[in-house]
Amino acid sequence: MSMVYEGALADLVEEFGKLPGIGPKSAQRLAFHILQSPELDVSALAHALTEVKKRVRFCETCGNVSEEEQCAVCKDPRREQSVICIVEEPKDVVAIERTREYRGLYHVLGGAIDPMAGVGPDDLRIKELLPRLESGTVTECVIATDPNLEGEATATYLIRLLSSLGVTVSKLASGLPVGGDLEYADEVTLGRAFQGRTSVA
């Protein structure tokens, strides 16, 4: 960026700048923040970085992040074993857990079908899902892919695949976001909200 940066500081600005959503100005601000932070805080961050790469892997059953063979959800006997919620990424599991509305299991696909990016069904963890449905314990699959083009394509593919396996297949409701303004809802969302209207009296 400039000749006044020397060695280590320039390296740190560069490394921060490689992170998603962090531009050159933010990278510089972060680097100067680090420079002024207590040594202990900085080594905690450096340690957390290397530990994540060392310890975190993916649950062999559901594909969620885990530090053991089985993730916390799969290991927990209190979770409903009859429902599997299918999501694209581990962060979707976090989002759903935060609602406290769901007590079943998960299956993380590791992405969505996206022909433009060369991602087909075989690139997702769909083959790992099928054995989980064979024992007969699972009676329902809730499809919770992102409500965008790739997510909808993945949902359509999964609905077709799973409906032949004798499990109930459901999909998260589309509609107006809570706290939003009706006049600002896009026409597709508003249309879906009409289609999915529920009788209240």
Q: Which residues of the shown chain bind a second copy in the complex (CB under 8 A)?
A: 1-9, 11-12, 14-16, 18-21, 26, 28-35, 37, 39, 41-56, 64-67, 71-73, 89-91, 93-94, 97-98
Shortest distance, CB of residue 86 to a second copy, whole angstroms?
16
Nearer to a second copy, 123 or 139 (CB): 123
Give min distance, CB of 16 to a second copy, in A. 8
Least CB distance to a second copy at residue 27 (A): 11
H-run or E-run covering 74: helix 72-75
Min dist. Cβ of residue 150 to a second copy (A): 17
| Torsional class of 119: left (φ above 0), alpha (ψ -120 to 50), beta (otherwise) | beta
CA gap 75, 66 in Å, rounded: 11
- Looking at the Cβ atoms of 71 and 83, the one nearer to a second copy is 71
> How far apart are alpha carbons 3 and 111 in whole angstroms?
42
Separation between Cα atoms, residue 112 and residue 124, nearest integer Å? 7
Question: Which residue do the tokens 């949902």 mark?
Answer: 155
Residue 46 or 130: which CB sits closer to a second copy?
Answer: 46
